[in-house]
């Protein structure tokens, strides 16, 4: 026996069954040479004694990895082996080309988007059964866009079902998307589906967030969508009752119909002068009013409901608190030969109205609302006429004038016959 390679102490080189000691880990090659004198040429044969290390660890395929396209290759990190132990990489699922299947640190190319699983198997000969471990190479699609929760939506209940289909941006596996409820109500049928149904929506604003996690390609991104649910029962616009004011009051509060969110209301000035404190408040204050009439309009927008947009107007009448009280003018005296008189009252100011009426006697007014009207049909005697000014919120006032009509046929003075006593 002779040592060809490796190491080992041959106890009895001439014995076919000699013991060998001090073998080294690896392959130790020994040659057996037989010399049979002149009978034949010398013959030789070699034998390999493989010594496996008992300290070789079980297979470890290394940590899972995540990649982002356009990167589609990586280097493996399988556990080291000590010759003559062997290790072998195999593809379990997915795609990928193994450059050197027996190299713990081989490169892998051609990885496809998705989950690619490889097994590292270590065979340590007689030291134990082969061991295996798997590693997952997850490849994310770098072209997946940032999260987009889709356009806001509006529905009306109970006109329409209180169910909507969301429209989140698509994701490519192994990227994931998740819907969550931010505020309001709603049951998400499938939180991982970009186009999931949402049920159980209630009147108001219901906000949902779509979060896309695309692994190593980028930090997770999120976007929100608002589903506005309008109430069909929200009343149509009502601007409230007209109001009468008297200066010095120059402000008031409006009385528009109430709103059920997300319905909105808007006050607008149609005519006159006024400053609207909060145009969206049904009960807003208005200031800066002047004598006259201010017309405002309350418009309610109830979204997609049947009574979508409705409007109503209200008038604010501001009367002049400094206006003169009614003055019917001076009394007059005429003779019955005169068929009419012209009255001389003061006129109404601003929004105030005025009219003549007969209190005593008789008379026909050419225009009962004209302070300087002509009166005919007067009777002999005292004819009393009342001039009334209605100044709205400032109050009523009246004054009376007497027209004395003397009888033209009344005899001239006659003192009677002289008398003697």
The answer to the question of residue 7 being in a domain is yes
- The confidence score (pLDDT) of residue 173 equals 94
What percentage of the chain exceeds 90 in pLDDT?
Answer: 80
Token representation of residue 380 = 């002999």
Token representation of residue 293 = 């009439």
The answer to the question of residue 304 being in a domain is yes
Q: Are residues 315 and 336 in the same domain?
A: no
Token representation of residue 81 = 């082996």
CA-nearest of 244, 287, 241 to 395 is: 244
Strands 86-93 and 114-123: antiparallel
Residue with tokens 């225009």: 367
Q: Are residues 315 and 256 in the same domain?
A: yes
Phi, psi of 393 (to 5 degrees): -65, -15
The answer to whether residue 339 scores a pLDDT higher than 90 is no
What value, to the nearest 5°, has the Cα angle with vertex 225 and ends 223 and 227? 170
The 10s digit of each residue's pLDDT in 317-332 is 999 999 999 999 999 9
The answer to whether residue 55 scores a pLDDT higher than 80 is no
Are 252 and 285 in contact by the 8 Å Cβ rule? The answer is yes
DSSP-assigned beta bridge partners for residue 17: none
- The last residue of a domain, from among 192, 208, 231: 231
- The confidence score (pLDDT) of residue 23 equals 84
What percentage of the chain exceeds 70 in pLDDT?
Answer: 99
The 10s digit of each residue's pLDDT in 16-30 is 999 998 887 878 898
Token representation of residue 319 = 């009367």
- The confidence score (pLDDT) of residue 271 equals 98
pTM (predicted TM-score) = 0.72
- The confidence score (pLDDT) of residue 41 equals 84
- The confidence score (pLDDT) of residue 121 equals 97
Give burial (CB, 10 Å; 0-12/13-18/19+) of 3: middle
- The confidence score (pLDDT) of residue 160 equals 65
The answer to the question of residue 238 being in a domain is no
The 10s digit of each residue's pLDDT in 251-281 is 999 999 999 999 999 999 999 999 999 999 9
The answer to the question of residue 326 being in a domain is no
Average predicted confidence (pLDDT) for the chain: 94
The answer to whether residue 230 scores a pLDDT higher than 80 is yes
The predicted model gives 298-309 an average pLDDT of: 94
Q: Are residues 6 and 45 in the same domain?
A: yes
Q: Are residues 157 and 225 in the same domain?
A: yes
The answer to the question of residue 148 being in a domain is no
Look up the CATH number of the domain holding residue 361: 2.60.40.10
Give burial (CB, 10 Å; 0-12/13-18/19+) of 121: middle
Q: Are residues 221 and 165 in the same domain?
A: yes
- The confidence score (pLDDT) of residue 106 equals 98
The answer to whether residue 338 scores a pLDDT higher than 90 is no
- The last residue of a domain, from among 182, 205, 231: 231
The answer to the question of residue 188 being in a domain is yes
Q: Are residues 23 and 70 in the same domain?
A: no
The answer to whether residue 159 scores a pLDDT higher than 70 is no
- The last residue of a domain, from among 264, 294, 319: 319
Domain that holds residue 307: 243-319
The 10s digit of each residue's pLDDT in 175-189 is 999 999 999 999 999
- The confidence score (pLDDT) of residue 310 equals 98
Report the number of distinct structural domains present in the chain.
Answer: 5
Q: Are residues 160 and 222 in the same domain?
A: yes
Question: For residues 259 and 204, what is the distance between their CA atoms, to the nearest angstrom?
Answer: 11
């Amino acid at each position: 026996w002779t040592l060809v390679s490796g190491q080992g102490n041959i106890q009895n080189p001439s014995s076919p069954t000699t013991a060998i000691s001090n073998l080294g880990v690896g392959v130790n090659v020994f040659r057996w040479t037989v010399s049979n004198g002149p009978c034949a040429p010398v013959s030789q044969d070699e034998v390999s004694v493989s010594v496996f290390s008992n300290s070789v660890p079980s297979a470890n395929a290394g940590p899972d990895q995540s990649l982002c396209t356009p990167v589609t290759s990586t280097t493996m990190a399988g556990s080291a082996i000590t010759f003559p132990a062997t290790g072998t990489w195999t593809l379990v699922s997915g795609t990928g080309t193994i450059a050197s299947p027996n190299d713990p640190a081989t490169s892998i190319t051609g990885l496809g988007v998705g989950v690619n699983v490889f097994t590292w198997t270590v065979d340590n000969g007689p030291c134990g059964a082969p061991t295996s471990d798997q590693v997952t190479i997850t490849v994310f699609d770098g072209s997946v866009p940032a999260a987009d929760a889709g356009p806001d939506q509006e529905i009306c209940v109970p006109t329409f079902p209180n169910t909507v289909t969301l429209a989140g941006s698509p994701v490519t596996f192994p990227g994931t998307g998740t819907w969550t409820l931010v505020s309001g109500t709603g049951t998400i049928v499938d939180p991982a589906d970009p186009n999931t149904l949402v049920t159980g929506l209630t009147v108001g604003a219901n906000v949902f967030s779509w979060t896309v996690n695309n692994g190593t390609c980028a930090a997770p991104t999120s976007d929100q969508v608002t589903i506005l649910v309008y109430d069909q029962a929200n009343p149509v616009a009502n601007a409230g009752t007209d109001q009468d004011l008297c200066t010095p009051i120059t402000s008031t509060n409006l009385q528009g119909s109430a709103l059920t969110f997300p319905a909105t209301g808007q006050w607008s000035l149609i005519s006159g002068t006024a400053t609207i404190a909060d145009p969206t408040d049904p009960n807003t204050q208005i200031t800066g009013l002047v004598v006259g009439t201010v017309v405002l309009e309350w418009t309610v927008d109830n979204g997609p409901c049947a009574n979508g947009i409705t409007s109503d107007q209200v008038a604010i009448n501001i009367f002049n608190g400094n206006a003169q009280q009614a003055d019917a003018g001076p009394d007059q005296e005429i003779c019955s030969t005169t068929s009419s008189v012209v009255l001389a009252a003061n006129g109404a100011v601003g929004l105030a109205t005025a009219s003549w009426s007969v209190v005593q006697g008789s008379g026909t007014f050419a225009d009962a609302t004209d302070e300087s009207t002509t009166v005919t049909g007067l009777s002999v005697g005292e004819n009393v006429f009342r001039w009334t000014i209605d100044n709205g919120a400032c109050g009523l006032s009246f004054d009376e004038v007497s027209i004395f009509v003397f009888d033209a046929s009344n005899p001239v003075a006659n003192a009677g016959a002289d008398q003697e006593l």
